A and B are shown apart, each in its own frame.
Chain A
Amino acid sequence: MLACPECDLLQLAPARPVRLGTVECVRCGATISRTAPCSLELTLAFAVAAAVAFAIANVFPIMTLELQGRTTSETLLGMSAVLQEAGMASVAALVFVTIVLMPALEIAALLYLLGPLAIGRVPPRMALAARLLAFVKPWAMTEVLLLGALVSIGRLETVARVHLGAAFWSMAALMFLFAIIDSVFDPIEPWSRAEALRQVRGIAVPFAPPA
């Protein structure tokens, strides 16, 4: 038995979801749970890949601009640094939080939550990590930055030469990884997993061969 998080209707989870991979509320259509097989392990694998893509995205430039023999380039962190220098501290903070801090926290929370569970341990302060993950999710805006980068390319292309950097491509990869994680990860599953693990621990008796 589950209650819809968006309309509070009580309903039994169907044995086979109507739409592949998601269980939707029969009244309001909100997603109640996701049912991809091995969703926890899949999410963990994609979170590891996302961590690698995110690390690359932070080190290399997003793009480089060439005008009359001079070049400038832009990195994720450089973007907020430049806005800060221009006296726009609040906009700089918004950019830093939405494209660096929140994606980093999302990946970290996923790894912390799912890594131990995948090898059969319950992570300490699990609720804190789960709450952090739920809080951070709407504020990580990798895909929006990517659209912004595409628009900037369109605007700059006519006046100067634009070269795309490694960070652009790793951000594109990160966008797809986050999309896959969103469609596979079921936020309730870590809790049922942890519950099952605790029960197994509780009744486990060391095996003693009969004398």
Chain B
Amino acid sequence: MTATAARSGLIACSLCGLLNARPHRHAGMKLRCARCGSVLYLRKPHSVERCWALLIAAYVLYLPANLLPVLETAKLGERQWDTIMSGVLQLLHDGAWPLALVILIASICVPFAKLSSLTFLLVSVRSGSPADRVLRARLHRLLNFIGRWSLVDIYVGGLLVGLVRFEPVAVISPGPGAIAFGAVVVLTMLASQSFDPRLLWDAGGQDIRG
């Protein structure tokens, strides 16, 4: 048995880190940290349920994010709609492969990797298997770190829309796909924040009772 705070009758404050003693019976009662007054939780409340809900919402919006156009380019009356993927292909066609690579990784690989990894983490917590826990903990840390980079396409869109306003020669405007894409990024960030990595280590779940 390893000594975790939960098994030792302690709760670590998520804000100031203080180890608080946990009274034996506190059902329904809110515990507060002795040092900073934050509400104490043994584990993030309803972590798995919240994470699933946000993740499913992200899956639903993933389709319109990739299928609807994110940018509209109008050059001398000629209009062209671009989805994320067609934007990447356009960049490749223009020979700008480093830019194509950045957008491909940030807008296509990262969101997909986030959705599938979070699903994997949630399923693996449910089965409670102790295999590869260090790797899974690292995966979760990586997810929290890389999620933000997906927004790069939104910023590129925002800058292009603001800068390319040379009517009637060239005008760029945003498309509805940008809304769905932004929502996917925000939802997956919220989902990975609401996932409590300590659940990976609570094999069998005996820690979280009481």
**B-chain residues with CB within 8 Å of residue A151 when the two chains form the complex:** 99, 102-103, 152, 156
Of the listed stretches B50-58, B111-119, B121-129, B174-182, chain A binds B174-182
A6 touches B35 (CB 8 A): no
Contact A72 B163 (CB under 8 A): yes
CB pair A65 B164 closer than 8 Å: yes
- Knowing A8-B201, A144-B149, A151-B102, the reply to whether A83 touches B4 (Cβ < 8 A) is no
Asked whether, in the complex, the Cβ of B166 is within 8 Å of the Cβ of A70, the reply is yes
B164 and A1 form a contact (CB under 8 A): no
Task: Determine the residue in chain B with the shortest Cβ distance to A64.
Answer: B163
B152 near A147: Cβ-Cβ < 8 Å? yes
- Is A130 among interface residues, defined by CB-CB distance under 8 A? yes
B158 touches A95 (CB 8 A): yes
Asked if B163 and A94 sit within 8 Å, CB to CB, the answer is no
Q: Is the CB of B96 within 8 A of A9?
A: no
Interface class of chain B by DSSP: helix
Q: Are B137 and A29 in contact (CB under 8 A)?
A: yes
A45 at the interface (CB under 8 A from B): no
Say how far A206's CB is from chain B's closest CB, in angstroms.
Answer: 28
For residues 1 through 50 of chain A, which have their beta carbon under 8 Å from a beta carbon of chain B?
1-3, 5-10, 27-30, 33
- Of the candidates A8, A72, A73, which one forms a contact with B12 in the assembled complex, judged by CB atoms under 8 Å apart? A8
B96 touches A154 (CB 8 A): yes
B169-193 near A? 1/0 per residue, CB < 8 Å: 1100110001100110010010001
B residues in contact with A149, CB < 8 Å: 155, 159
In the complex, whether B89 has a CB less than 8 A from a CB of chain A is no
- State whether the Cβ of B48 lies closer than 8 Å to any Cβ in chain A: no
> Which residue in chain A gives the minimum CB-CB distance to B33?
A127
Most chain B beta-carbon contacts within 10 A, residue among A33, A91, A98, A188: A91
Interface status of A105 (Cβ within 8 A of chain B):
no
Q: How many residues on chain B are close to A (CB under 8 Å)?
A: 68
A191→B18 contact, CB < 8 A: yes
Q: Is A173 an interface residue (CB 8 A)?
A: no
Are A147 and B149 touching (Cβ within 8 A)? yes
**A188-B17 in contact given A3-B12, A8-B4, A148-B155 (Cβ < 8 Å):** yes
Contact of B134 with A29 in the complex, beta carbons under 8 Å? yes
* Known contacts A8-B6, A79-B158, A145-B155; is-contact A72 B141 (Cβ 8 Å): no
Give A78 Cβ to nearest chain B Cβ, in Å.
6
Contact status A152-B4, CB under 8 Å: no
Given A131-B38, A151-B99, is A6 in contact with B137 using a C-beta cutoff of 8 Å?
A: yes
**Shortest beta-carbon distance, A89 to chain B, in Å?**
9
Chain B positions within 8 Å of A126 at CB level: 36
A10 in contact with B3 given A82-B161, A148-B152, A156-B163 (CB within 8 Å): yes
A168 to chain B, nearest CB (A): 11
Q: For the A-B complex with A7-B137, A8-B198, A8-B202 known, give 8 more contacts whose Cβ atoms are closer than 8 Å.
A: A3-B5, A3-B17, A5-B14, A10-B3, A33-B17, A72-B165, A141-B148, A154-B98
A-binding residues in B (CB < 8 A): 2-6, 8, 10, 12, 14-19, 35-38, 91, 94, 96, 98-99, 102-103, 106, 133-134, 137-138, 140-141, 144, 148-149, 151-166, 169-170, 173-174, 178-179, 182-183, 186, 189, 193, 197-198, 200-202, 207
Can you list 8 A-B pairs, Cβ within 8 angstroms, ordered by A?
Answer: A6-B137, A6-B141, A7-B137, A68-B166, A88-B174, A144-B148, A151-B152, A191-B18
| Complex A-B, nearest 7 residue pairs according to Cβ-Cβ distance, in ascending order | A148-B155, A3-B12, A3-B5, A191-B16, A74-B162, A8-B4, A28-B137
